[in-house]
Chains A and B, each alone.
Chain A
């Protein structure tokens, strides 16, 4: 029987010919480990409390301010700069080299960093303490999130895992103009529900995924956890391989599912029938076609977070807003996910177009997603391309948050109400 991409990645990592779903494995950490130094400074703080005076391999530990940007809440006992500085001191005292310590201006949101820095490699495993670590599945890397109880991996240098079953999603045909990777994921969520893939790996395949940009695939994998999945993954193609070849000399071995691989389930969808999708508050699981939400007046719009804020997302927003203005009374926050995206978008003229349209372009960070920059005020109505819409997450608990693709968000910012982006493409 053939094996899935996830099973092959794990087997390769463990150094055995094959692994089976349900099996327990442990393996060493040979890629770098990114330790958050701002609000995500869980590892460092936990570690300090444990009193351990060594890391498994200081050269593999990277320190990055990866959530907050320059933001700090007045009520916090410590500013993020302070938190970063303390983490840096801790890391240095344990032998982490200077070049592993990243500063604002060279980073971004935690799940953008491993792609920009080429740490998460096709065919490899990438571990991080944040929930959305499976984002890296978009480049054919297995992303698994660790919990605070697993801080010991920084001392041990290995971790144990259970091999998940895989579910295959085959999306055939061609997407309509204005329909993005985001819409494909939300459509799937609408079909299988929030417990549709519990503890399993979602493998996205088919012509729609093959023709999709790397950015679109990263978005789909980032969101996979909302079906209860352990992770999401897409087989890496030439454009992915070229991306990493241009950025790293570290060798990597992309993995691919066998034709006769065994799946727990196979779902087939016709991509040409997928409309832009909108998640309706207050639940993350309520997904409707945009036509059912069109016309809802908004006060804020947001493009950013680990689920978007990539080059393609900013480009599509600029295309929709070119030569036009954001609707009066609407604050449109656009936050590039990384300094690299910001730079590339600037060179392309995308940032200028957005600024001319009246968008508020923020510094690379998680920004509005957890209510850092421009938190929502009472009774605001927002549409965001961020990860989730839990009431209170993006600001006041009374604010309503809809979710949609960056194209839907940009079209909505333009009209001042939720809009179907297809007419602008």
Chain B
């Protein structure tokens, strides 16, 4: 997986809870996600049509405490299933953050991102370089890239895939 992306920005607010705003927990409890298709439900409590409108490669931009609440990874999986290429937030909940890296969902924590992006802006992100270009406003923003050993995990497609890669290479 390359670590640069280009896509349309979807902008949401603060404190998106993994079980309330990201995935409707009650629907999950009622057994409506037994098929493992969390993408069909992702962000529907905030925008019922989101899974239909979002396109592969689009980028999610949110406020503070993104993915708070229980560390249920269905939220991260759902975002990947609808094709979100990267999540950028002012700050992340600890579980959401580590689940993203461990599942291979590229993630950037960047204070000031909400002022930099408006709904629908076209963004170009380079995870290695630590740069986000807003192609709509023609402005750029820098961030500290994740260390290489974490980018390797993301690039491999998550911790399990990364472990499999090390096994295949005879490294462990």
Contact of B149 among A148, A151, A152, A160 (CB under 8 A): A160
Contact of B172 among A155, A162, A198 (CB under 8 A): A155
CB of B103 to closest CB in A, whole Å: 6
Selected from A24, A152, A160, the residue in CB contact (under 8 A) with B163 is A152
Q: From the candidates B93, B99, B150, B166, name the one contacting A156 in the complex (CB within 8 A).
A: B166
Contact A24 B65 (CB under 8 A): no
Interface-facing stretch out of B38-46, B48-56, B119-127, B154-162: B154-162
Cβ distance A95 to chain B, nearest Cβ, rounded Å: 15
By a CB distance below 8 angstroms, the chain B residues around A56 are 172
Q: Report A52 CB to chain B, min CB distance, Å.
A: 8
The count of residues in chain A whose C-beta lies closer than 8 Å to any C-beta of chain B is: 20
Any A CB within 8 A of the CB of B146:
yes
Closest to B147 in A: A24
Q: Output the nearest chain B residue to A25 by Cβ-Cβ distance.
A: B147
Q: Is B32 an interface residue, CB under 8 A from the partner?
A: no
Query: For A24, what are the chain B residues with a Cβ–Cβ distance below 8 Å?
Result: 146-147, 149-150
| In the assembled complex, A50 has its CB within 8 A of some CB on chain B | yes
Q: Which of B65, B150, B167 contacts A198 (CB 8 A)?
A: B65
Determine whether A112 belongs to the interface, using a CB cutoff of 8 Å to chain B.
no
Check B162 against A148 for contact (C-beta < 8 Å): no
Interface size on B (CB < 8 Å)?
Answer: 26
- Interface residue A212 (Cβ < 8 Å from any Cβ of B): no
Q: Is the CB of A198 within 8 A of B93?
A: yes
Known contacts A147-B95, A195-B65: A152-B160 contact under CB 8 Å: yes
Closest to A49 in B: B160
Q: For B73, B99, B102, B166, which residue has the most chain A Cβ atoms within 10 angstroms?
A: B102
> Which residues in chain A, 222-242, are within 8 Å of chain B measured between CB atoms?
230
- CA distance in complex: A157, B93 (Å): 25
Q: Mark A99-130, 1 if CB is under 8 A from B, else 0.
A: 00000000000000000000000000000000
B73 adjacent to A149 (CB under 8 Å): yes
* Complexed CA–CA distance, A260 and B36 (Å): 51
Q: Let me know if B98 is at the binding interface, CB within 8 A.
A: yes
State whether A230 and B150 are in contact (beta carbons under 8 Å apart), knowing that A149-B99, A150-B159 are contacts in the complex: no
Chain B residues lying within 8 Å of A147, measured Cβ to Cβ, are: 71, 73, 95, 98-99, 102
Cα distance, A56 to B150, chains bound together (Å): 20
Contacts of B65 on A, CB cut-off 8 Å? 195, 198
Given A50-B160, A160-B149, A160-B150, answer yes or no on A149-B93 (Cβ-Cβ < 8 Å): no
Q: In the bound complex, how far is the Cα of B95 from the Cα of A230, in angstroms?
A: 10
Contact at B159–A152, with CB atoms within 8 Å? yes
- Residues in A with CB closer than 8 Å to B93 are 198-199
What 1/0 flags go to B133-172 for Cβ under 8 Å of A? 0000000000000110110010000111011001100001
Question: How far in angstroms is the closest Cβ of chain A from B61?
Answer: 20
Decide if A150 touches B102 in the complex (CB within 8 Å). yes
> B129 contacts the other chain (Cβ, under 8 Å)?
no
Say yes or no: A230 contacts B102, CB within 8 Å: no
Q: Point out residues on B near A: beta carbons under 8 Å.
A: 65, 68, 71, 73, 93-95, 97-99, 101-103, 146-147, 149-150, 153, 158-160, 162-163, 166-167, 172
Given contacts A149-B99, A151-B160, A162-B97, 5 further A-B contacts (CB under 8 A): A52-B167, A147-B99, A149-B158, A198-B65, A198-B94
- The 6 A-B residue pairs with the shortest CB-CB distance, nearest first, are A149-B102, A152-B163, A152-B159, A199-B94, A24-B147, A155-B163
What are 22 A-B contacts defined by CB distance under 8 Å? Answer: A52-B163, A52-B167, A56-B172, A147-B71, A147-B95, A147-B98, A147-B99, A149-B98, A149-B103, A149-B158, A152-B102, A152-B159, A155-B163, A156-B159, A157-B172, A160-B149, A160-B150, A160-B153, A162-B94, A162-B97, A162-B98, A199-B93
